[in-house]
Amino acid sequence: MNKRGLVNVAASIISILLGMLFGFILLEIFNPSAALNGLNNILTTGLRTPEKFGKVLYTAAPLLMTGLSVGFAFKTGLFNIGASGQYTVGAFFALVAGIQFGLPWYVCILAAMVGGAIWGAIPGLFKAFFNVNEVITAIMFNWIGLFGVNLALNNMPKMLASFWGAPYKNKTAAISAANKSALLPKLGLDEVLNSPYINIGIFIAILFAIITWVVLNRTTFGYELKACGYNRNASQYAGINAKKNIVLSMVIAGALSGVGGALYYLSGTAQYVIEKTLLGMGFNGIPVALLASSNPLGTIFSAMFISYIQVGGDALQPQFAKEIIDIIIAVIIYLSAFSLLIREIITRVGAKKHALQENGKGADAK
């Protein structure tokens, strides 16, 4: 690893530790007697039993996808805050393919890619051709996506759990009841880890991370995308079609988020709930990407980390209220995203030290 990469990793680790420290202070404030035990829970739950570890991998998969989505757009100079909407629409496409049409899981994932891609393409098109800030369009499309999907589901009786014999109407059907072939394969991992959550989702996500890394760093397409991101004028000067690349970048980012939605809802352990709140998974992709400095391979680790913290946080109940746990996790994630600042500090301190050493050498020489 080169020096810059090393600094990035160090910065991420330091900011994670800072986040932990801050989280601990909050635990102390809310419930001093349970604080130490609480921290212990956050730090170790994820590894305590194979079952919990299975859950870490299970939530890491969609997080990794939305993190990749946000990071990919960042590299191209775009802020994809629309991951939530793309994730929702992707999940919807996957579920429709699986439940309504009874298609197998890999077709469902392809459908999710298409859905997410469409939802990413629209802000991209607006940005490229009308120079409308992608943040604004993407935020609006988060809501349009959410309510559009809810509206559609309400009018597709076959999609709802009630059609398949369950008592409720505000959830999509359990895939295990509707179409077993749409379930992500478990390859026996569930028995090894003794966890109903684990399936091949995490491997699919890691595969996407590797592909994304290769595309960004090894292909002419990635070269063009990054050139556009760093300096749109220069990429235009170089004969690169900046508009095309902005749209493509958002299409790919959307597709990645869409796959995230598929991986989560095709696991068989989650059902889409018709609610009026945006899905947090898309927004959590932002700290995942930031923590990894948008590096697709780094995203694998940051997604695992955030998932690990979330699983640990769930174990804080009942000594801490659910909301307080959310706050603590948010604080840890928030401070973890300070890696940029920390990186800056490391570089500066490093430069000073280096200068002193050089001085020392100079004095010796004299």
Q: Which residue has the tokens 């590797």?
A: 210
Which tokens hold the place of 89?
A: 């629409």
Stretch that binds another protein, among 82-90, 119-127, 151-159, 225-233 (CB under 8 A): 225-233
Smallest distance, another protein to C-beta of residue 356, A: 10
Contacts for 290 with CB less than 8 Å, ≥ 6 apart? 337, 339, 340
Tell which phi-psi region holds residue 199, choosing left (phi > 0), alpha (psi between -120 and 50) or beta.
beta
Rg (alpha carbons) of the chain, rounded to whole number: 22
Using rule CB under 8 A, residue 151 touches another protein: no
Q: Give the nearest distance from C-beta 5 to another protein in angstroms.
A: 13
- Least Å from the CB of residue 351 to another protein: 6
What values do phi and psi take at 160, rounded to 5? -90, 155
Does the N-terminal peptide bond of residue 318 adopt cis geometry, omega within 30 degrees of 0? yes
Dihedral angle, C-alpha 166, 168, 171, 175, nearest 10 °: 0
Read off the tokens for 16. Answer: 């994670």
Closest CA to 285 of 91, 80, 23: 80
Our finding on whether 220 is near another protein (CB under 8 A) is yes
CB of 232 to another protein, least distance (A): 10
Nearest distance from C-beta of residue 124 to another protein, angstroms: 21
Of the listed pieces 109-117, 134-142, 220-228, 334-342, which binds another protein according to CB under 8 A?
Answer: 220-228
Instruction: From 89, 16, 6, select the one nearest 290 (Cα to Cα).
Output: 16
Site for another protein in 343-362 (CB under 8 A): 351, 354-355, 358-359, 362
At closest approach, how far in Å is the CB of 227 from another protein?
Answer: 5
Q: Which CB, 140 or 243, lies closer to another protein?
A: 243
Q: How far is the CB of 316 from another protein (least distance, A)?
A: 42
Calculate the CA dihedral of residues 265, 188, 308, 324 and round it to 10 degrees: 60
Residue 139, CA distances (Å) to 67, 134, 144, 146 in order: 17, 8, 9, 11
Residue 236 CB, shortest distance to another protein, in Å, is: 7
Among 163, 164, 223, 283, binds another protein (CB under 8 A): 223
CB of 364 to another protein, least distance (A): 15
Of 171 and 226, the one with the shorter C-beta distance to another protein is 226
Binding residues for another protein, how many (CB under 8 A)?
23
Copy the structure tokens of residue 335: 């401070």
Alpha-carbon distance of 61 to 55, in angstroms, equals: 10
Q: Give whichever of 77 and 115 is closer to another protein, judged by the CB atom.
A: 77
Give 263's contacts (C-beta < 8 A, 6+ positions apart). 61, 62, 65, 109, 184, 201, 204, 205
Minimum Å gap between C-beta 215 and another protein is 9
Q: Residue 20: how many CA atoms within 13 Å on its side-chain side?
A: 19
Given 227, 255, 329, 335, the residue binding another protein (CB under 8 A): 227
Q: Which stretch binds another protein (CB under 8 A): 119-127, 129-137, 222-230, 267-275?
A: 222-230
Which of residues 252 and 315 has its CB atom nearest to another protein in the complex? 252
Per-position b or e across 235-255, b if 16+ CB within 10 A of its CB: beeeebebbebbbbbbbbbbb
Residue 225 as a binder of another protein (CB under 8 A): the answer is no
- Between 236 and 255, how does the x/- string for binding to another protein read (CB under 8 A)? xxxx----------------
Retrieve residue 149's tokens: 């999907």
Among 221, 243, 274, 327, binds another protein (CB under 8 A): 221
Is residue 226 part of the contact set for another protein (CB under 8 A)? yes
- Give the three-class secondary structure for 160: strand
**Applying CB under 8 A, which of residues 233, 276, 323, 364 lies at the interface with another protein?**
233
> Could you list the residues that contact another protein (CB under 8 A)?
218-221, 223-224, 226-227, 230-231, 233-239, 351, 354-355, 358-359, 362
